[in-house]
């Protein structure tokens, strides 16, 4: 980019004397340039320097295109400036009579260099967010030795197992697990999630994110190329360099436009002399045709949109691994979701609490979690997790006792309490009141576990425990329905559980109790009905279905196998990003088509005008004006592509 910038400014300086001493410019503006010995050759001298210095990138590019038998933009530009140079040289040397084209040549090269500079700046800006990712990692880290002494070391020296001190406001230098401390970490630059994420012992942290007000001690689990940040950069770069069908279409259009331009220039060179026009007029028309038909903007139309769309996606937590997937997403009419870990949280929670008369839900959850505090059963984890999420302070318990197959017992605040399932009620020979009995029956009908809190001979509460639905799933399904897409649930869970989730989320179709090896068959079954199917999943058993679907969307926190199988990766595991991908796909396609028309459509009118079909009415395009129009189409394409940044709606 710096090379084209410098060439443009120096060429512009060389073009100024070419214009000032040009006979045509002096005639148009009715002035006389300073005269001195040799001043008549100033346009020729400076025009020649411009041709070889400023025109060298185009001459070299044209040579490589012809050598590879792929004539294109550089071929047309090099032909145009070479024809203008040779003709002008012959006129200046007196070999042929006519008007030289030195000023046209100089301005043409300057404008073409400006167009290339603008193009490269646009692409550089589009990829700027990707480059900014590389700057997220700090250069130094604070490492703790076995004695707890802090020492600042280069990030490059970190290795797995190192213990780091992350001070308030510091960038996290490596992926890791919190060993001590609590804080809120800003992960927006990686996941697109604007709200700082609370971190405490056992939580994972990502390299490049920024610590909040707390202090953390983090054990390193990944450095360098092993970090999530490095993986994101690889995926974005891979997507930006991969080819799509739209790019192939643009390349074919550019090739055919080049052929049309060369043929049009040849016809122009033959027809005008036959009509009695001088060679200076003919050469000027030929040069203008070659310049105005340059597929410069056409070469920029698709890559720039792709660079911007993949960067936008990355900044919003949508990683496009394969541009084909992004391109196909706009055609989808069916989205298949795996249930566990995708539409649900992937771990059990208390999804409904029913307390006996006179008791509050928070109070019964507090004491039930306390009873289960020392247990490791999934029910215990569900109670403790739910209490934590509700901000409930769980007191310590005493005299904990596990009763396999029935439940647990413990003393909480001098109260002897039991927590367990139906077997516990039978052992204690107690009956729940009617309201609690109906709540337990309702939970069972929905495929949920009913867990009771009992004190003495009184049942205090019943907890419906299940894999809780993600709060974001409701909006995700609604947005997909608003777009006219069918939503399908595909799971290995029981029919009762699957139907309960589907009913709550208003999902259209349910495939339950599907074995992992049968998931592909279900995807193929939908495709056989003529549906364009996306599969959203996070597990190893989802990988074949992800590959079979028209678009595979992998949940980023899932297994590496699933992530590698997906066309698109959702970094923050938010199902609302599925409709966001479809919206981005549609917006990207619209911009591609608009840019193709901006880049090539104007040639339908411009090439005949450049050839001089309206010359009889005094309407002619000068080569420099042709270069302006061609460069203007490049600018319009660049600006139009930038408007894509408004396409993705944040969850």
* Domain CATH number, residue 195: 2.70.150.10
344 — pLDDT class (breaks 50, 70, 90): confident
Q: Does residue 576 belong to any structural domain of this protein?
A: no
Most confidently modeled range among 96-110, 300-314, 466-480, 627-641: 466-480
Provide the token pair at 166: 């992350």
**Whether residues 208 and 357 fall in one domain:** no
**For position 377, what pLDDT does the model report?**
73
**Whether residues 442 and 410 fall in one domain:** yes
pLDDT digits over 527-564, tens only?
Answer: 999 999 999 987 555 777 888 889 988 876 544 444 55
| More confidently predicted of 258 and 128 | 258
Interval 192-216 mean pLDDT: 79
Burial of 430 per CB tally in 10 Å (0-12, 13-18, 19+): middle
**Is there a contact between 220 and 162 (Cβ–Cβ < 8 Å)?**
yes
d(C-alpha 461, C-alpha 438), whole Å: 12
Q: To which H or E segment does residue 607 belong?
A: helix 603-611
Interval 235-262 mean pLDDT: 64
**For position 556, what pLDDT does the model report?**
66
| More confidently predicted of 500 and 134 | 500
pLDDT digits over 111-127, tens only?
Answer: 777 766 765 665 555 45
**Whether residues 53 and 182 fall in one domain:** no
**Whether residues 117 and 243 fall in one domain:** yes
Interval 147-168 mean pLDDT: 88
**Whether residues 162 and 227 fall in one domain:** yes
pLDDT digits over 179-191, tens only?
Answer: 988 888 887 656 5
Interval 391-400 mean pLDDT: 89
Q: Does residue 585 belong to any structural domain of this protein?
A: no
d(C-alpha 371, C-alpha 373), whole Å: 6
d(C-alpha 502, C-alpha 339), whole Å: 10
pLDDT digits over 556-591, tens only?
Answer: 654 444 455 567 888 777 899 999 999 999 998 888
pLDDT at residue 507 tops 60: yes
**For position 407, what pLDDT does the model report?**
84
| More confidently predicted of 583 and 71 | 583
**For position 178, what pLDDT does the model report?**
92
CA 230 and chain centroid, separation: 15
Question: Which of the listed residues 538, 571, 604 is the one where a domain comes to its end?
Answer: 571
Count the alpha carbons within 13 Å of 445 in the hemisphere toward its beta carbon: 7
**Whether residues 18 and 82 fall in one domain:** yes
Q: What is the DSSP letter of 477?
A: H
Question: Which of the listed residues 571, 606, 633 is the one where a domain comes to its end?
Answer: 571
| More confidently predicted of 225 and 641 | 641
pLDDT at residue 233 tops 90: no
297 — pLDDT class (breaks 50, 70, 90): low
129 — pLDDT class (breaks 50, 70, 90): very low
pLDDT at residue 401 tops 80: yes
Q: Does residue 361 belong to any structural domain of this protein?
A: yes
| More confidently predicted of 491 and 366 | 366
**For position 539, what pLDDT does the model report?**
55
Of 377, 348, 361, 349, which is closest to residue 436 (Cα–Cα)? 361
d(C-alpha 320, C-alpha 577), whole Å: 12
- Report the number of secondary-structure helices (H) and strands (E) in the chain: 25, 22
Interval 189-209 mean pLDDT: 73
| More confidently predicted of 269 and 572 | 269
Question: What separation in angstroms does the CA of 548 have from each of 486, 511, 523?
Answer: 18, 17, 7
d(C-alpha 401, C-alpha 380), whole Å: 13
Interval 425-441 mean pLDDT: 89
**Is there a contact between 326 and 320 (Cβ–Cβ < 8 Å)?**
yes
Q: How many domains does the chain have?
A: 4
* Least confident interval from 53-67, 348-362, 462-476, 609-623: 609-623
Interval 273-281 mean pLDDT: 84
Q: Does residue 577 belong to any structural domain of this protein?
A: no
**Whether residues 453 and 484 fall in one domain:** no
- List the domain range (segments joined by +) for residue 553: 318-343+470-571
Here the CATH number for the domain that contains residue 495 is 3.40.50.1000
Residues taking part in catalysis = 338
**Whether residues 351 and 440 fall in one domain:** yes
Sheet holding 568-570, edge to edge: 318-320, 568-570, 551-555, 533-537, 334-338, 486-490, 509-511
Most confidently modeled range among 7-11, 568-572, 611-615, 642-646: 7-11
User: DSSP E strands: which ranges in 549-617?
Assistant: 551-555, 568-570
Beta strand 486-490 with 509-511: parallel, antiparallel or unpaired? parallel
**Whether residues 100 and 245 fall in one domain:** yes
| More confidently predicted of 618 and 462 | 462
**Whether residues 7 and 86 fall in one domain:** yes
Interval 347-358 mean pLDDT: 86
Interval 471-482 mean pLDDT: 93
**% of the chain with per-residue pLDDT over 70:** 84
Q: Does residue 584 belong to any structural domain of this protein?
A: no
pLDDT at residue 130 tops 60: no
pLDDT digits over 438-464, tens only?
Answer: 998 888 777 777 889 999 989 999 998
Provide the token pair at 161: 């197992």
Interval 32-60 mean pLDDT: 88
**For position 299, what pLDDT does the model report?**
64
**Whether residues 53 and 5 fall in one domain:** yes
Q: Does residue 135 belong to any structural domain of this protein?
A: no
Sheet holding 197-199, edge to edge: 197-199, 183-186, 210-211
**For position 88, what pLDDT does the model report?**
81
Interval 405-415 mean pLDDT: 87
Of 570, 34, 63, which is closest to residue 314 (Cα–Cα)? 570
**Whether residues 206 and 250 fall in one domain:** no
Here the CATH number for the domain that contains residue 444 is 3.40.1110.10
Q: Does residue 84 belong to any structural domain of this protein?
A: yes
pLDDT at residue 65 tops 90: no
| More confidently predicted of 498 and 368 | 368
pLDDT digits over 138-154, tens only?
Answer: 778 899 888 888 888 88
Question: Which of the listed residues 508, 539, 571 is the one where a domain comes to its end?
Answer: 571
Q: Does residue 15 belong to any structural domain of this protein?
A: yes
**Is there a contact between 33 and 20 (Cβ–Cβ < 8 Å)?**
yes
């Amino acid at each position: 980019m710096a090379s084209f910038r410098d060439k443009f400014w120096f060429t512009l300086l060389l073009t100024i004397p070419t214009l000032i001493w040009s006979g045509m410019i002096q005639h148009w503006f009715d002035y006389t340039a300073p005269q001195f010995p040799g001043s008549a050759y100033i346009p020729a001298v400076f025009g020649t320097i411009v041709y070889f210095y400023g025109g060298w990138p185009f001459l070299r590019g044209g040579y490589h295109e012809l050598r590879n038998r792929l004539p294109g933009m550089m071929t047309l530009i090099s032909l145009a400036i070479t024809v203008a140079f040779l003709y002008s040289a012959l006129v200046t040397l007196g070999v042929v009579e006519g008007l030289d084209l030195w000023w046209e040549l100089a301005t043409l090269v300057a404008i073409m260099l400006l167009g290339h500079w603008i193009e490269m700046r646009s692409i550089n800006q589009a990829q700027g967010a990707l480059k900014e990712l590389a700057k997220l990692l700090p250069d130094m880290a604070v490492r703790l030795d076995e004695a707890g002494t802090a020492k600042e070391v280069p990030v490059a020296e970190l290795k797995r197992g190192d213990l780091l001190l992350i001070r308030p406001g510091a960038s996290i230098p490596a992926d890791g697990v919190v060993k001590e401390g609590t804080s809120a970490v800003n992960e927006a630059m990686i996941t697109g999630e604007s709200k700082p994420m609370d971190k405490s012992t056992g939580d994972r942290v990502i390299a490049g994110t920024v610590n909040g007000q707390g202090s953390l001690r983090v054990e390193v689990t990944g450095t360098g190329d092993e970090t999530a940040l490095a993986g994101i950069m690889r995926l974005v770069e891979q997507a930006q360099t991969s080819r799509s069908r739209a790019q192939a279409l643009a390349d074919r259009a550019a090739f055919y436009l080049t052929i049309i331009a060369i043929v049009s220039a040849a016809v122009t060179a033959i027809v005008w002399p036959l009509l009695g026009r001088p060679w200076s007029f003919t050469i000027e028309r030929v040069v203008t045709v070659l310049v105005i038909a340059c597929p410069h903007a056409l070469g920029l139309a698709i890559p720039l949109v792709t660079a911007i769309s993949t960067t936008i996606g990355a900044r919003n937590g949508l990683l496009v691994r394969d541009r084909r997937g992004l391109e196909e997403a706009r055609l989808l009419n069916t989205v298949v979701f795996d249930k566990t870990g995708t539409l649900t949280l992937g771990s059990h929670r208390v999804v409904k609490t029913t307390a006996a008369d006179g008791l509050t839900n928070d109070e019964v959850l507090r004491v039930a979690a306390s009873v289960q505090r020392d247990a490791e059963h999934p029910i215990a984890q569900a109670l403790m997790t739910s209490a934590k999420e509700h901000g409930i302070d769980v007191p310590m318990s005493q005299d904990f006792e596990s009763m396999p197959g029935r439940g647990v017992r413990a003393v909480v605040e001098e109260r002897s309490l039991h927590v367990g399932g139906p077997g516990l009620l039978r052992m204690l020979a107690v009956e729940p009141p009617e309201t609690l009995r109906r709540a337990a029956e309702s939970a069972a009908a929905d495929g949920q576990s009913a867990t009771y809190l009992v004190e003495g001979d009184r049942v205090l509460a019943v907890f419906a425990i299940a894999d809780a639905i993600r709060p974001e799933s409701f909006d995700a399904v609604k947005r997909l329905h608003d777009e006219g897409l069918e939503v399908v649930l595909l799971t290995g869970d029981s029919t009762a559980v699957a139907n309960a989730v589907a009913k709550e989320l208003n999902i259209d179709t349910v495939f339950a109790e599907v074995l992992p090896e049968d998931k592909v068959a279900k995807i193929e079954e939908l495709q056989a009905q003529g549906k364009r199917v996306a599969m959203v999943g996070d597990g190893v058993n989802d990988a074949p279905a992800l590959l079979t679907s028209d678009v595979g969307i992998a949940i980023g926190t899932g297994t590496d196998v699933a992530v590698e199988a997906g066309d698109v990766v959702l970094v923050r595991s938010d199902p609302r990003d599925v409709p966001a991908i479809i919206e981005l796909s549609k917006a990207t396609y619209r911009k591609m088509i608009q840019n193709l028309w901006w880049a090539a459509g104007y040639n339908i009118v411009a090439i005949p005008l450049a050839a001089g079909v309206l010359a009889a009415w005094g309407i002619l395009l000068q080569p420099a004006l042709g270069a302006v129009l061609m460069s203007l189409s490049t600018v319009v394409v660049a600006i139009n592509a930038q408007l894509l940044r408004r396409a993705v709606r944040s969850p």
